[in-house]
Amino acid sequence: MYIENIDITNFRNIEKINTSFNKKYNIFYGENAQGKTNFLEALSLTLNGISHREKSTLNFIKQDSDFCIVSANVKKEDDIDTNVKLTIKEKRKYEINSTPVKTRTELLKEYNIVLFTPEDLKIIKGYPKDRRKFLDESISLIFPAYHSALRKYNKALKQRNTILKDYTKRNIASSLLDVYDETLYTIGSDIIKTRINILKKIEKIADNLNKEVCKNENIKFFYSSNVLKNSDLTDIKLMYKNALKNARKEDLSRGTTTVGIHHDDINIFINDLDTKKFASQGQQRSIALCMKLSLIKLLYDKFEDYPIVLLDDVMSDLDKFRQKQILNLIKDTQSFITCVNHSFLEDINDYKIYKIENGNLKEVTSGQTR
């Protein structure tokens, strides 16, 4: 799939942008704080339903404006034309082909975006919640129904924690906890199986991609869970049920659920060494980027259509060899790349270059495949 054109009104520091794009490489350069990341954020928010840096809806609206609109025409596999429109006033309103979109799951079924930003280094350097977020977002792209299941789990978890906090005060029957336990171990066991299955696929693809960038490095992932007693997932639902049962006394004491998928983590190794402790900044960036780019193949295998790739300020920290390899890895997709300097395009023929300054976009030059 690829975005043919976009119309942006009053998004962040962007007052008005209306432009068309190349089917392959689209480069956006300019000084810092001019609107490059805002532009990518508008694309991600509109097609993927989330922002990588903001939760407050009103902050998307340009200062001194009371609304924001982003509309994109997207052509999917088999030349299917679609229009997705985001309108922001007090709330966000999505439409696909003028039909209201009620849930983010509906967006995920229609459009696939792979976004990499400097914040994605948290996949390697950050906390377990950062790695869970990466894995959950990745799976939601491949299986949109997973996003709904995760929401149901988190809702039940929140309700269970509320009961745990008030248990002694309100004389709540333990049978009510049993009800929420059943929801948690039923949904949670399926989530663990899905996470492990997809993580194995990401590991294989990311390892191959990383070898194209750093030939002598091997990547390994290990899924860590306080529910699992062994690697046999046959009786995972029973293991999960027993884990909740055995932890109930401690849960009541702490007023929170101490076991479950919300505590899980991914241990990432390079040449059998923990990447958090022993990988260089460059290695961490390469691994995180390859983990994200592995989704290109996974999404294509699932939907037989390439996702749209957004790379925010990635090239500046890579040497020329790695820049060339990254461009080659995304050659089958439509990509949007922000940068300060676009000299890395010297071997690329099919592109458009835009300059962003004070929220204004200007096409500078373009090239076509020879």
Render 239-268 in DSSP notation, one character per residue. HHHHHHHHHHHHHHHHTS--SSGGG-EEEE
pLDDT at 171: 64
How far, in whole angstroms, is CA 18 from its chain's centroid?
A: 26
| Residue whose pair of structure tokens reads 């029957």 in the numeric block | 173
| Residue whose pair of structure tokens reads 């983590």 in the numeric block | 265
Antiparallel, parallel or unpaired: β 80-88 and 68-76: antiparallel
pLDDT at 40: 96
- Burial of residue 47 (CB within 10 Å: 0-12, 13-18, 19+) is buried
pLDDT at 170: 65
- Burial of residue 263 (CB within 10 Å: 0-12, 13-18, 19+) is middle
CA–CA dist 22, 309 (Å, integer): 13
Left if phi > 0, otherwise alpha if psi is -120 to 50, otherwise beta: which for 28? beta
| Cβ-Cβ contacts under 8 Å for 341 (sequence gap 6 or more) | 29, 316
CB of 78 within 8 A of CB of 68? no
pLDDT tens, residue order, the chain (370 aa) = 999 999 999 999 999 999 999 999 999 999 988 999 999 999 999 999 989 887 788 889 999 899 999 999 999 988 899 999 999 998 999 999 999 999 999 999 999 999 999 899 999 999 999 999 999 999 999 999 999 999 999 999 999 999 998 876 666 667 889 999 999 999 999 999 999 999 999 999 999 999 988 878 899 999 999 999 888 888 999 999 999 999 999 999 899 999 999 999 999 999 999 999 999 888 898 999 999 999 999 999 999 999 999 999 988 878 888 888 899 999 999 999 999 888 888 778 889 999 999 999 998 887 664 3
* Other beta carbons within 10 Å of 20: 12
Task: For residue 258, give both structure tokens.
Answer: 């101490």
Task: For residue 290, give both structure tokens.
Answer: 């390859």
Q: In b/e form, how buried is each residue of 225-247, taking b as 16+ CB within 10 angstroms? A: bebbeeeeeeebbebbbebbeeb
Task: For residue 232, give both structure tokens.
Answer: 């046999």
- pTM for this prediction: 0.92
How far, in whole angstroms, is CA 157 from its chain's centroid?
A: 23
Rg value, the chain, Cα: 22
CA–CA dist 89, 181 (Å, integer): 39
307 DSSP assignment: P
Amino acid at 368: Q
pLDDT at 215: 76
